[in-house]
C-alpha cells in the first residue's frame, strides 16, 4: 500500500523513512492557495522594480551585480556554477528524503516559488526517481547549495539520477519514470537550492537510527543483567528519584519493566561494573540529549529554510539567514557524542560477556571448545574496530567554521558534515549492538542461564530461533546484522 504524505500536515521522520519507496504526496487546496499567493506577490514585487536576491541579482558574493534579464536564463545562472560537488553519490534513499523535506518547506508558501515546482517534487516522489547528489560540497550555509543544485538539475533532466536503484542520465530517468523535465526561472532555481533540506533529512534519519539503538541497548542491558544473575537494585525507583534527572528516571522505569520477574543468582558481586550498574544513568543522559535533538529536528521539519522570504499580507520581501543550519549542526554533533558513548557501552558489555573472570565462569570468548574454537573472538575484534572508527570521527564539526565566498559566508555551521557523519556512524552503532546481541545468544549455548524475566527470555528465544549456536566456528558477519535486526524489532518504540 502506498503511503500518503500531505504537505499541509506536519512532516514526520516516519514520512522520510517511507520516502525510500514511492509515496503519494498530496498538494491540497490550502497548499496550492498559499504557494500561488506567494508567486503572485513575487510578480508584483518584480513589477514594482524591487530588488530581489537571486531574481534580479547575482548570487552569493556577487549579489551586488545584476543577474540575467531573462528569468529562464537566470535559472541557468543560479545552477550552473553549483555543479562542483565531489565524492560518491549520497544514498538515493537520503536523496529522496531530501526532496520531501524541500517540498514541505516550499509548500509553506513563503518562498515565492511556482506551484509547478512543488507539483514536480511530489510527482518525482511518486516514482523511484532520486537525483544523484554528491556527498561533498555543502557547508550548510546558504543552504545545501551544491547537493541541492544537483537535485534541481536532475529534475530539469540534466546530470544524473537513479531509477529503480540504477544510475542513469537524468533525462533518461525522467522519461522512464513518466516525468517531464522541470522548467525553472531564477526564483524557482534559488528556492530549490537555498535551504538546508539535506542537512535536515540526514539529521532526522540519524536521530531515528540512534533512537532505535538506544532502545536496543536498554533491552540488551536487561538481558545481560538477567543472564548473569545480577541484582536489579541498580534500577531502584527511589535511587532515581534522588538522582533527579528526567531521562534517567524514564530509562530506569523502562528497564524495570523489562526486568520484571528476574531472580538474582546470589553469586554476583555486591556492585556490578559500571557497564551494568551505571547504564541507566548513561542511557538517561542520552535520552535527555536525544530529546533536545527531537526538538531541533521537529522545528527544522516544520520550518521554512530559504532566502528571501515573501509575506504578501505585509507587502514584505525579507532577506535574511533562514538557510543557516546551525541548529542541526549542533544537534547532529550531539547525536555523534551520544552514539559514541552508546557504542562505548555496548562494546564494553560485549567485552564483559566474553571474559570468564567477569561473566560468571563462562568459557573465554564464549567458545564452545576454547582453543579448538574461538566463539566471539572475531566479532569482538570487529566491534573494537567499529567503536574506534566512531570515536576517531567524533570531533564536533559545528565549531570548525572558516570563511568562504569572498567572506560573504564568513562564518558557517557545517551542519551537513555533522548530519551525514551522524547518519553514517548510526549504522556502525547498530553493528556493535548486533554483536552484543549475538554474544547474548551464544552465552546461553555455552552455559549461561536462560533469563528469568519473561521479557528478557523472549529476546534470547527469538535470537536462538533465528541464529544457530556458534558451534563450530563459522563466518558471522551476516549473523551480526541479523541479530541487530532482531533486537531492534523486539525493542519497543519510545512512547
Q: Which three cell numbers stand for residue 426?
A: 548510526
Gap between the Cα atoms of 265 and 352, Å rounded: 17
Exposure string over 27-50, b if 16+ CB within 10 A, otherwise e: beeebbebbeebbebbeebbeeee
Residue 21 is predicted with a pLDDT of 97
Summarised one tens digit per residue, pLDDT across range 65-111 is 787 777 777 788 889 889 999 999 999 999 999 999 999 999 999 99
Residue 2 is predicted with a pLDDT of 84
Whichever domain contains 452, its CATH number is 1.20.200.10
CB distance 311 to 318 below 8 Å: yes
User: 242 and 161, same structural domain?
Assistant: no
Residue numbers of the chain with a pLDDT score lower than 50: 494-495
User: 108 and 230, same structural domain?
Assistant: no
User: 483 and 426, same structural domain?
Assistant: yes
Q: Which three cell numbers stand for residue 363?
A: 568459557
**Contacts with 294 (C-beta within 8 Å, 6 or more apart), sequence order:** 207
Segments forming the whole domain that contains residue 231: 202-490
Residue 189 is predicted with a pLDDT of 93
| 495 within some domain | no
Which of the listed residues 195, 226, 254 is the one where a domain comes to its end? 195
Residue 495 is predicted with a pLDDT of 45
Residue 20 is predicted with a pLDDT of 97
CB distance 185 to 278 below 8 Å: no
Alpha helices (runs of H) in 134-278, residue ranges in sequence order: 145-156, 170-177, 186-193, 197-228, 237-243, 246-258, 274-277
Radius of gyration of the chain (CA): 26
To 5 degrees, how large is the angle CA 19–CA 480–CA 277? Answer: 100
Q: How many domains does the chain have?
A: 2
Q: Which residues are catalytic?
A: 53
Alpha helices (runs of H) in 269-376, residue ranges in sequence order: 274-277, 279-302, 326-354
CA-wise closest residue to 173 among 182, 181, 165, 162: 162
The burial class, CB within 10 Å (0-12 / 13-18 / 19+), for 81 is middle
Q: Is 337 helix (H, G, I), strand (E, B) or coil?
A: helix
User: 246 and 285, same structural domain?
Assistant: yes
Amino acid at each position: 500500500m502506498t503511503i500518503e504524505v500531505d504537505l499541509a500536515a506536519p512532516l514526520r521522520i516516519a514520512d522520510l523513512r517511507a520516502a525510500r519507496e514511492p509515496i503519494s504526496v498530496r498538494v491540497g487546496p490550502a497548499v496550492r492557495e498559499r504557494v500561488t499567493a506567494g508567486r503572485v506577490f513575487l510578480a508584483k514585487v518584480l513589477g514594482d522594480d524591487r530588488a530581489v536576491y537571486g531574481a534580479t541579482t547575482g548570487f552569493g558574493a556577487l549579489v551586488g551585480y545584476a543577474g540575467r534579464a531573462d528569468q529562464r536564463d537566470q535559472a541557468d545562472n543560479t545552477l550552473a556554477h553549483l555543479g562542483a560537488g565531489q565524492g560518491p553519490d549520497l544514498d538515493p534513499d537520503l536523496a529522496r528524503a531530501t526532496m520531501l523535506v524541500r517540498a514541505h518547506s516550499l509548500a509553506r508558501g513563503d518562498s515565492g516559488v511556482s506551484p509547478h515546482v512543488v507539483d514536480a517534487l511530489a510527482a518525482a516522489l511518486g516514482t523511484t526517481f532520486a537525483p544523484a547528489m554528491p556527498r561533498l560540497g555543502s557547508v550548510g550555509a546558504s543552504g545545501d547549495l551544491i547537493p541541492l543544485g544537483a537535485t534541481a538539475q536532475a529534475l530539469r533532466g540534466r546530470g544524473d539520477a537513479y531509477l529503480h536503484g540504477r544510475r542513469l542520465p537524468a533525462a533518461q530517468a525522467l522519461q522512464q519514470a513518466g516525468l517531464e523535465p522541470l522548467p525553472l526561472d531564477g526564483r524557482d532555481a534559488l528556492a530549490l537550492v537555498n535551504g538546508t533540506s539535506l542537512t535536515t533529512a540526514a539529521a532526522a534519519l540519524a536521530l531515528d537510527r540512534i533512537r532505535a539503538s538506544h532502545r536496543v541497548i536498554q533491552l540488551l542491558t536487561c538481558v545481560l543483567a538477567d543472564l548473569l544473575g545480577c541484582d536489579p537494585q541498580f534500577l531502584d525507583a527511589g535511587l532515581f528519584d534522588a538522582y533527579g534527572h528526567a531521562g534517567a528516571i524514564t530509562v530506569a522505569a523502562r528497564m524495570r519493566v523489562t526486568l520484571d520477574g528476574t531472580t538474582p543468582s546470589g553469586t554476583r558481586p555486591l556492585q556490578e561494573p559500571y557497564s551494568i550498574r551505571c547504564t541507566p544513568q548513561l542511557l538517561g543522559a542520552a535520552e535527555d540529549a536525544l530529546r533536545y535533538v527531537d526538538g531541533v529536528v521537529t522545528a527544522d521539519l516544520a520550518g521554512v529554510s530559504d532566502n528571501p522570504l515573501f509575506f504578501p499580507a505585509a507587502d514584505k520581501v525579507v532577506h535574511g539567514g533562514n538557510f543557516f543550519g546551525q541548529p542541526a549542526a549542533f544537534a547532529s554533533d550531539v547525536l555523534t557524542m551520544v552514539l559514541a558513548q552508546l557504542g562505548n557501552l555496548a562494546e564494553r558489555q560485549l567485552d564483559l560477556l566474553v571474559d570468564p573472570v567477569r561473566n560468571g565462569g563462562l568459557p573465554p570468548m564464549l567458545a564452545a571448545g576454547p582453543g579448538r574454537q574461538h566463539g566471539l573472538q572475531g566479532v569482538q575484534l570487529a566491534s573494537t574496530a567499529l567503536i574506534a572508527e566512531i570515536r576517531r570521527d567524533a570531533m564536533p564539526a559545528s565549531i570548525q567554521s572558516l570563511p568562504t565566498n569572498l567572506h560573504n559566508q564568513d562564518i558557517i555551521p557545517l551542519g551537513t558534515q555533522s548530519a551525514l557523519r551522524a547518519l553514517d556512524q548510526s549504522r556502525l552503532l547498530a553493528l556493535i549492538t548486533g554483536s552484543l546481541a549475538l554474544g547474548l545468544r551464544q552465552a546461553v549455548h555455552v552455559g549461561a542461564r536462560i533469563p528469568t524475566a519473561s521479557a528478557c527470555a523472549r529476546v534470547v528465544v527469538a535470537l536462538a530461533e533465528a541464529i544457530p549456536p556458534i558451534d563450530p566456528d563459522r563466518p558471522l558477519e551476516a549473523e551480526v546484522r541479523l541479530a541487530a535486526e532482531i533486537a531492534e524489532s523486539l525493542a519497543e518504540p519510545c512512547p
